[in-house]
Structure 1
Amino acid sequence: MFKLRGHHLFCLIGFRGMGYSEEFAENMKRIHTELRKNPKTLIEIIDGVDQICEKYPDCKDYHCLDKNIFERDKKVLEKLGLSVGQVITWEEVESRIRKYVTPEDIDVLCYTCSWRSYGLCKGGIQRILNGAGLWKVK
């Protein structure tokens, strides 16, 4: 089981192998690969620092506890009809994305995200909507 905060559900969908550091990217790749290979993997929705945040590099401005990040978590969870404390499968996350999310939602829900301009999350959402699942990351 992975413990993840709200907005990281979208980050995982857009993940293509890049990150804030090599250690951060490798950790994200490990989680991403497990979810892609085993969509029945359980996820506990948590509030605050999760298994992705814990590898955020010390040399960067630590933003995981910023108010706007918590706000982004809240908006993503509301959009997906999820709440902190729920335990669901990754398969259910993808199902909820197909029901409730469009690629354009990224511009609204994640407007303060520095990664948004790359278009990876929009592409990942479209991929889920097309039934293709997570990208394979090398």
Structure 2
Amino acid sequence: MYKLRGHHLFCLVGFRGMGYSEEFAKNMKKIHHELRTDPKTEIQIIDGIDQICEKYPECKEYHCLDKNIFDRDHQVLEKLGFRVGQVLTWEEVESRIRKYVTPEDIDILCYTCTWRSHGLCKGGIQRILNGAGLWEIK
């Protein structure tokens, strides 16, 4: 089971192998790969530092405890109808995305995210809406 915060559900959908550092990207790729290959993998929604934040590089300005990140977490969870503490499968996350999210929601929910301008999350959301699942990362 992975412990993940709200906005990282969208980050995983948009992930294409890039990250803040090699170690960060390697960790994200491991989590992403397991969710992609086994959508029944369980996750627990947590409030705060999760298994993705743990590998945030020390040489970068740490933003994982910033108020706007917590706000983004809560907005994403509200959009999906999830709550902190809930345990669910990745399959359920994709199902909720198909039901409640559009690619344009990224511009609203993640407007302060530096990765938003790359269009990765919008593309990932569209992929989920098309029933294709997570991107394959080589």
Q: Matched residues in 1 for 2:72 and 2:112: separation?
A: 9
Give percent identity, aligned residues only.
83
Aligned counterpart, 1:132: 132
Aligned residues between the structures: 138
Aligned counterpart, 1:45: 45
SS class of match (1:76): helix
Aligned counterpart, 1:96: 96
Q: Matched residues in 1 for 2:125 and 2:96: separation?
A: 11
Q: Matched residues in 2 for 1:135 and 1:92: separation?
A: 17
SS class of match (2:31): helix
- Normalised to the residue count of structure 2, the TM-score between the two structures is 1.00
Q: Matched residues in 2 for 1:17 and 1:126: separation?
A: 18
The one-letter code matched in structure 2 to 1:121 is C
Aligned counterpart, 1:75: 75
Q: CA deviation at 1:26?
A: 0.1
Q: For residues 9-28 of structure 1, what are the structure 2 equivalents within 5 Å?
A: 9-28=9-28
Q: Matched residues in 1 for 2:9 and 2:94: separation?
A: 9
The one-letter code matched in structure 1 to 2:23 is E
The one-letter code matched in structure 2 to 1:53 is C
Q: For residues 61-72 of structure 1, what are the structure 2 equivalents within 5 Å?
A: 61-72=61-72
SS class of match (2:98): helix
Q: CA deviation at 1:127?
A: 0.1
Q: Matched residues in 2 for 1:47 and 1:9: separation?
A: 13
